[in-house]
């Protein structure tokens, strides 16, 4: 949890976003009515398994979603007061300048035929004050030092293939720093790394985001990482938001049956045995059920769950859940924060 004073300035506000993909068999309804917000300086966790739509959401925010075959059915994405989806050059530029994405596989993000100096140089040359060559080099070295990179000089002259996975990921993070972005989107940044390195990288991300007051969205299936590094968490299932709240609330009092099932299915260091997992499988996205998408697998399903999509119910001021079984009184309409 952070002690920073949080300004009320909403950095990112996703409203009622629904996205589908056009495929041979029809339309895959990948995201349904997602509301998602990030305030300045906040660290947000996004939890969900494969197919839940978290990568699609991030790509939409980062403006790298391939628009055909993707189709934006409804919704808006506001970033720093600007509608990102309006297609204008200005909004694209705004995103490119102030948002950075760290991908799961650092190898894929780095062109193997260019040296690290080339990447970092390109970024610096496109900032408002590129400076001289010597100044740029200085800034590159500083960025590498900030990410605790051993032998930064040598690294600058290396090609990505000469660096280890952990070092490549540090380079990606350093590139974010160079760009001086406002929002870092980290999509499973440590999944391809070893556990001991993972810890170092997560700590690094944490420090940087806190120290430099950068907002961060951390997508990770390593629930422990989300627990220790985020202020608020969203849980997604099959393209829908299952629940959201402060991280402490979500982890200590998970409300959605999916979240409960997910936490229970995660093997624990305390040795509680192997859980049964969550029975069933993801629903079809082509022909989704009219009601709650989790219903076929839900141990607490009610009759209404099959017929109508649950709205968001507020459990307390820091926790809301989209589940009929937790209905405490619908406070908000779909689509309004």
Partner 1 sequence: MSEAAAREKILEVSRLRKEFQTRQGTLVAVAGVDFAINESEIYGLVGESGSGKSTVGSMIVGMYGSNGGEILFRGEDIDRPAAKRSKELKRQIQLVFQDPGGSLNPRQTIRQILTLPLKLHRGLSGAALEEAVHETVEKVGLPRSYLDKYPQAIGGGEKQLICIGRALAPDPSFIVLDEPTSALDVSIQAKISNKLLELQEQLGLSYLFITHNLCLVRNLVHRTAIMYLGQLCETAVTEEFFTHPLHPYTQMLLASIPVMSEREEAYKPTEVESVGEIPNPIHRPDGCGFHTRCPLCMDRCKTEPPVMTEVSPGHYVSCHLHANIAAKEA
Partner 2 sequence: MPDKLTEQGRPRLDRYKRQWHKFASNRLSLLGLVVVLLLIVLAVFAGKIAPYPEHAGLYLDFQSANQGPSLQHIAGTDEYGRDIFSRMLFGLRVSLEIGLLVLAIGVPIGVLLGLIAGYHRNTWIDTAIMRFTDLFMAVPPLVLALVVVAMFTPGFFFAAIGIAVAWWPWYTRLTYSLVTSLSNEMYVKYAELSGAKSRHIILKEILPNAISPIFTKMSLDMGMIIIIASSMSFVGLGVQPPAPSLGSMVSNGIKFLPEFWWIPVFPALFVVLIVLGFNLLGDGLRDVFAIEEL
**Mind giving me the DSSP string for 276-319?**
----S-PPPSSS--SS-TTGGG-TT--HHHHHS----EEEETTE
Instruction: Kindly tell me which of 25 and 211 has the beta carbon lying closer to partner 2.
Output: 25
Provide the binding-site residues for partner 1, judged by CB under 8 A.
49-50, 150, 164-167, 194-200, 202, 221-225, 227-228, 251, 261-263, 265-278, 281-282
Q: Is 282 in the site for partner 2 (CB under 8 A)?
A: yes
Q: CA-CA distance, 34 to 327, in Å (whole number)?
A: 19
284 binding partner (options partner 2, partner 1, none; Cβ < 5 to 8 Å by kind)? partner 2
Q: Is 138 in the site for partner 2 (CB under 8 A)?
A: no
Phi, psi dihedral angles at 314 (to 5 degrees):
-90, 120
Among 5, 24, 113, 329, binds partner 2 (CB under 8 A): 24
Instruction: Kindly tell me which of 258 and 285 has the beta carbon lying closer to partner 2.
Output: 285
Q: Is 3 in the site for partner 2 (CB under 8 A)?
A: no
Cα–Cα distance list, 95 to 63, 72, 90, 299 (Å): 7, 18, 9, 42
Q: Is 71 in the site for partner 2 (CB under 8 A)?
A: no
Instruction: Kindly tell me which of 18 and 158 has the beta carbon lying closer to partner 1.
Output: 158
Q: Which two tokens stand for residue 253?
A: 């009092």
- Greatest extent of the chain over all pairs of C-alpha atoms, in Å: 68
Q: Is 176 in the site for partner 2 (CB under 8 A)?
A: no
Q: Coil, strand or helix: which one is 184?
A: strand
Instruction: Kindly tell me which of 30 and 57 has the beta carbon lying closer to partner 2.
Output: 30
As a 3-state breakdown, the chain gives helix, strand, coil percent values, each rounded to 5, of: 35, 25, 40
Site string for partner 2, 286-315 (x = CB under 8 A): xx----------------------------
Residue with tokens 């839900």: 298
107 binding partner (options partner 2, partner 1, none; Cβ < 5 to 8 Å by kind)? none
Judged by phi (left if over 0) then psi (alpha if -120 to 50, else beta), residue 134 lies in alpha
185 binding partner (options partner 1, partner 2, none; Cβ < 5 to 8 Å by kind)? none
- Strands 232-237, 43-47: pairing is parallel
Residue with tokens 């299915």: 265
Supply the minimum distance, in Å, between the C-beta of residue 72 and partner 2: 17
251 binding partner (options partner 1, partner 2, none; Cβ < 5 to 8 Å by kind)? partner 1
- The residues of the shown chain that bind partner 2, judged by CB under 8 A, are 21, 24-25, 28, 30, 51, 281-287
């Amino acid at each position: 949890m952070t002690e920073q004073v949080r300004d009320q300035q909403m950095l990112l506000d996703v409203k009622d976003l629904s996205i589908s993909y056009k495929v041979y068999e029809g339309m895959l309804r990948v995201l349904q009515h997602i509301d998602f917000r990030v305030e300045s300086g906040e660290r947000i966790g996004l939890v969900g398994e494969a197919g839940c739509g978290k990568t699609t959401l991030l790509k939409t925010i980062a403006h790298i979603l391939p628009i055909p075959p993707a189709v934006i059915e409804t919704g808006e994405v506001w970033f720093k007061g600007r509608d990102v989806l309006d297609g204008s050059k200005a909004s694209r530029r705004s995103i490119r300048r102030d948002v950075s994405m760290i991908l799961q596989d650092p190898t894929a993000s780095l062109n193997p035929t260019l040296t690290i100096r080339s990447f970092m140089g390109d970024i610096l040359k496109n900032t408002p004050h590129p400076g001289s060559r010597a100044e740029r080099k200085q800034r590159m070295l500083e960025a590498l030092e900030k990410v605790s990179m051993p032998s930064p000089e040598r690294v600058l002259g290396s090609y990505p293939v000469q660096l280890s996975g952990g070092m490549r990921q540090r380079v990606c993070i350093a590139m974010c720093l160079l760009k001086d972005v406002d929002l870092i989107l980290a999509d499973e940044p440590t999944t391809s790394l070893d556990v001991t390195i993972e810890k170092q990288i997560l700590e690094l991300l944490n420090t940087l985001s806190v120290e430099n007051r950068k907002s961060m969205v951390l997508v990770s299936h390593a629930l422990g990482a989300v627990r220790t590094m985020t202020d608020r968490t969203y849980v997604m299932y099959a393209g829908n938001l299952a629940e959201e709240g402060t991280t402490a609330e979500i982890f200590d009092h998970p409300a959605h049956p999916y979240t409960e099932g997910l936490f229970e299915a995660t093997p624990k260091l305390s040795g509680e045995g192997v859980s049964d997992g969550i029975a069933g499988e993801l629903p079809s996205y082509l022909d989704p059920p009219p009601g709650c998408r989790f219903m076929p697998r839900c141990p607490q399903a009610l009759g209404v769950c099959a017929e109508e999509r649950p709205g968001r119910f507020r459990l307390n001021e820091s926790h809301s859940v989209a589940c009929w079984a937790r209905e405490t009184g619908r406070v908000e309409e779909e689509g309004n924060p």
